[in-house]
Chains A and B, each alone.
Chain A
Amino acid sequence: MAYGPHTPADRRRMLTALGMQSADELFADIPPALRSTPLRLDPPEPEQLLMGRLAHMAGRNRVDLASFLGAGAYRHFSPPLVDQILLRGEWYTAYTPYQPEVSQGTLQSIYEYESLMAELTGLDIVSASHYDGAAATAEAALMTCRATGRRRVLVSRAVHPHYRAVVRTYVDGAGLDLEDIPLVADGPLAGTTDLAALDRLLADADHPTAGVILAQPSFYGLLEPMAEAGSRAHAAGALFVAVVEPVSLAVLAPPGAYGADIAAGEGQALGIPAQYGGPYLGILACTEPLVRQIPGRLVGMTTDVDGKRAYVMTLQAREQHIRREKAASNICTNQTLLALAASVWLASLGPHGLRDVAAHGASRAAELEAALAAIGIERVHPGAYLNEFAIRVPNAAAVHHTLLARGVLAGLVIEDAVPDEPSVADALLVCTTEVTTSDDIAAFARELEAVLA
C-alpha cells in the first residue's frame, strides 16, 4: 500500500497480539450475507505513471483562451506567496481546532478572516466560511425566516441563476416559500430589480416577508438600488440580504453602509483558483443582533489562564454538535483553508492593491465596451456596471461556439443559464479583470467582427 508503514513482520506482530492468524478474522463481525463482492477497480498505479495520466487529463482542458467569462467565478492575479503558504502542511493537514491549545494558528487565522471580511462588508459578525456563494445565500435566506418567524423569501431575478436555484432547493427543503422579484423591462433601469414590483410583493399582508435578496453587482453586472430595496424591506418588517462580490467592495458601498442585515457572497475571487467550481469560499456576514442566528463556526479572541491572548471557537450553542435537530444549520466544518487563502491574498495586496484590482477590472471593461461598440455590438442594459455586462449578439450561442475555435472564450451564453428570461436571449455576459489584456480585447473584437461578417 502506497502510504502504509507496516512491514509484513509488523502486521504479524499486531495480529499475534490479537491472537489472530489473518486480517479476515477482524471482519468476522460482518454477517456472511452482508459481505461484499470483490472490488472491481484497476490495479494500483505507481506515482510516476499516475502523474503522467493526470498531466494528460489536465492537458485536455483548454485554459489558454482569451477569456471573458465571469458569471460568478473570476480570474485574478495571485502572488506566489499565497500558494506557498497554503502548501504548508501545518495549515492544510490540520483539522477543525477542537484542541485550541495546539490550534492557535488556525484559530487566529480565522479570527483575522472574520476581521478582514467585517472590514470589507461593513458588518460585524462573520461566520468562518460556507461552501460557496450560493450555499451562503441559501443559508442567509433561512436565517431571515428564523429571525423573523416568517416563511416567505423574495429573491430578485437579477441574482445569479445558480444561486436562485440553490436558494430554491434549500427553501423548498425547509418547507418555506420563495418568490421572484421581476426585473424592470425597459428604460434607463432595464435589467435591474423592479422596486415597484417589490413594493407590491411586500404589501401582501397575508404572506408577510422574512427576507429580500438582491445582488450587487447583479448577475448582469448592473449596479442595483440596494439602499432603496433595503429600506423597503425594513419598512415591511423584513430583513435585507445583499449578495456581494468581495473584490468590488474595495470600491462599492459595503452592505453595512446601505443597511443590509446580512451579506452573502462568493469568496473565490480572493485568490482562489477557478478549478471548475470548487472548493470555493462562501462569505456570510450579519449585524450583531443576528449573531445567534448565523450558522457556521465563529472564532473569538479570549485569554488563557496566564492572561495570554488566545483564540477559541465560541457561541457553539448554535451548532449541530450541541443542538442537534434544533441547530441553526447542519453545517459542520466548512472551508477554513479557503478562508486562509482569502486572508493571505488580502494581506498581500492590502487596501490599495485591492482597489487597484477592482479599478483595473472596471477600466478594462470600459475598454472592452468601447472596442465592441466600434464593431457595432451594444450593451443590452443602459445602467451603470463595474466590470461585467451583457451584450446583444445575434445567434449568440453559435457565435460563442465559433469564437471558441478562434481562441476566444466570449463570456457566457446567457440563455444557457437563464432560459426563462426572454429579454436576454441572444446575449452574452462578458467580464474583464486586471488580468485581461488589451491584446485579449483586441482579439475578441477582431474575431467577433469576422464571425459576424
Chain B
Amino acid sequence: MSASGPRLQPTLFELSKPGRGGDKIPHAPKGALDRLPAEHRRAHPPGLPELNEPDVVRHYVNLSQLNHAVDTGFYPLGSCTMKWNPKVNEWAARLPGFAQLHPMAPDDVAQGTLQLLWELEQMLIEISGMRAVTLQPAAGAHGELTGVLMIRAYHEARGDTGRTDVLVPDSAHGTNPATATMAGLRTVSIKAAADGGIDLDAFRAALSPTTAAVMITNPSTMGLFESRVGELIEAVHAVGALAYMDGANLNAILGRFKPGEAGFDVMHINTHKTFSTPHGGGGPGAGPVAVGDKLAPYLPAPRVVREADGSFRLERVGERPTSIGRMRSFVGSTGVLVRAYAYLRTHGASGLAEITDDAVLAANYLKSLLAASGVYDIPFPGVCKHEFIASATSIKKQTGVRTLDIAKRLLDHGFHAPTVYFPLTVDEAMLIEPTETESIETLDAFANALVEIAREAATDPETIKTAPHTAAVRRLDEAGAARNPNLRWRPAVGDWTPCPD
C-alpha cells in the first residue's frame, strides 16, 4: 500500500516530525496548570502531528485538488441542487460583526444579526406561503425532525394521542422514515402510482384516525410535480392528520407554487440547495422550517421577536411553554443563514422566479437531448421540474454495463456523476439535476458524453466497467473497508515530542 502520485498525500501523521512547527501563539506561563488536581490531568499529551505552516498548507491544497467541486466543474447530482455558490456570500459571512458575535451575547449588542434573521424569516414566510418560520434546524434532516416533533406536539395538545403513523411514499428520501422513527412514530410506506406520482387511492386507503402526518416531497424525488397533492391534502386533513412537505426540491417551484397556500401545514427548506449556501463537502447546511397557524405555537425556542419599537430580541427561557423546546445549542447556523439572506436579497422576487424557470428549462432541455438520443430510458416522459430520471436498464440488458459504470465513466469526462440508484423505485436510476447556473454549452457537452458512453458500452464495455481511468484513484475496495474497518490513524508511540513541563 502506498500513497504515491502527484497529488495523493500521506496522512498528517506521517508528515509529522517531532520538534517541527509551533510559535503560532505565545507559550503559556510555566506552572499555569499547577493548580489543577493531578487526578484530572492528562497523563500523556495527545498524539497530534507536529507540522510547520508550509507542510500544513501544501497538504490541504494538494488534498483539495483531489476533489470535484462546483468551482471546478459540472455537478449534476440529483436532489442536491449543486448550483453556483456566490462569492459575495462568503465575504458576507466573514464580516467580523457577523462572524465574531457570541451566541449568548445580549440582545442589545446583537441587533444586526437579529434583524437579519428576522428579515430572512419574513422572506421565507413569503416564499413558502406559510405563517411562521424557525431558522434553528441545522440541516434538512434536522428540519424534518423539528417538523414531525411539532406535529406530534399538536396532536398531543389536543388530547389526540392515538396517532402513531406517518405515511411516506416509497420514493421518499431515507431521512423521511428515519425521522418518523426518531419522533417515536411508525412509518407506513405507500407505493407510487404508475405515472410516478401520488397514488391517491392507496393513500386514502391508508389514512385513518391513527395517521399523524403524511410526508410528501414536492416536486417528487422523480422530479415530477405532484399534481394530485391538493386532493391528498384534503384527504389528510379530513382524517385530522397534518401534511408535511419535504422542501428539498424547492428550487423547482419558487414563485410558481407556495406550499402553505396549497394547504401544507409544515415544510422544511434546504438553504444549501435552493439558496446557494455551500455544501461544504457534506455540510454545513441549514434547514429552516416554515409552518402554518396550527403549528406556530410549537416552534422551537428561542424565536426571534420583533418588539413594537422595532428592536429585536430572543425569547427568554420558558417564555412560550407550548414550544417543542430546543433543537440545538444556540439559535441557528447563522453563518449559513447570512449567506442565504445575501442570496435572497441579490435575487429578489423577479430573480427567484427566474431561477426556477431556468432550472426547470435546463432540466427539460437536457432530458429532451437524452430522450432524442434513444439510448437511455426515460421512464417519465412528460414535462419534469428541476430534475429528471434517466435509466440504463436497456443499456444494461444489451451490454452488461450498469448505471454505476456509466457514473464512473462520466468522471473520466470531467463531470461529476448524477445521483445513482435513487429513488429506489426505478431500476438503474440516474437522477440528473443541472440547476439554473449551467450554460447550454455545458448541458450539450454532458448529454454528448452520456451518449458517447452509451455507444462505448456497445463497443468496449470493459473500459466502462473499469472506469474511472483518469481520477487520482480507481475503484475502491469498499467491501474490504467495511469488513476490516480502519477508521483512524494510529501514531506510533514516540512520534511526538514530550510536553516541556
Contacts and interface: CB of A to CB of B under 8 A. Distances in A.
Q: Do A and B bind each other?
A: yes
Contact of B360 (A23, A335, A404): A23
Given A252-B36, A359-B28, 18 more contacts: A4-B355, A29-B382, A36-B253, A42-B348, A116-B48, A223-B40, A274-B103, A277-B332, A277-B333, A303-B1, A307-B1, A308-B8, A312-B476, A330-B145, A333-B285, A344-B60, A348-B21, A359-B32
Interface in B282-338: 282-286, 300, 316-318, 324-336, 338
B459 interface: no
Contacts of B103: 72-73, 274, 276-278
Given A92-B278, A333-B282, A384 B35 contact: yes
Contacts, number: 706
A251 to B, nearest CB: 6
A145 to B, nearest CB: 12
A419 B319 CA distance: 12
Nearest to B351: A44
B355 A1 contact: yes
B475 A101 contact: yes
Interface centre among A27, A53, A274, A351 (most CB of B within 10 A): A351
B381 interface: no
A31 interface: yes
Contacts of B254: 39
Contacts of B115: 57, 60
A37 B479 CA distance: 52
A89 B70 contact: yes
A197 interface: no
A300 B436 contact: no
B97 A327 contact: no
Contacts of A101: 408, 411, 468, 471-476
The 3 A-B pairs of least Cβ separation, nearest first, read: A89-B71, A277-B330, A58-B97
Contacts of B229: 34
A257 B325 contact: no
Given A101-B474, A362-B36, A85 B41 contact: no
A133 B105 contact: no
Interface centre among B72, B101, B145 (most CB of A within 10 A): B101
B281 A94 contact: yes
A356 B56 contact: no
Interface string A135-150: 1000000100000000
Interface in B37-93: 37, 39-43, 45-51, 53, 56-57, 59-61, 63-72, 75, 77, 80, 82-86, 88, 90-93
Interface size class of A (residues with CB under 8 A): 35 or more
B279 A54 contact: no
B158 interface: no
Contact of B48 (A5, A79, A162, A354): A354
Contacts of B318: 419
A252 B46 CA distance: 10
B261 to A, nearest CB: 6
B335 A104 contact: no
B346 interface: yes
A342 B23 CA distance: 18
A355 B499 contact: yes
Given A41-B349, A352-B500, A304 B475 contact: yes
Contacts of A81: 53, 56-57
Interface in A125-161: 125-126, 128-129, 131-135, 142, 160-161
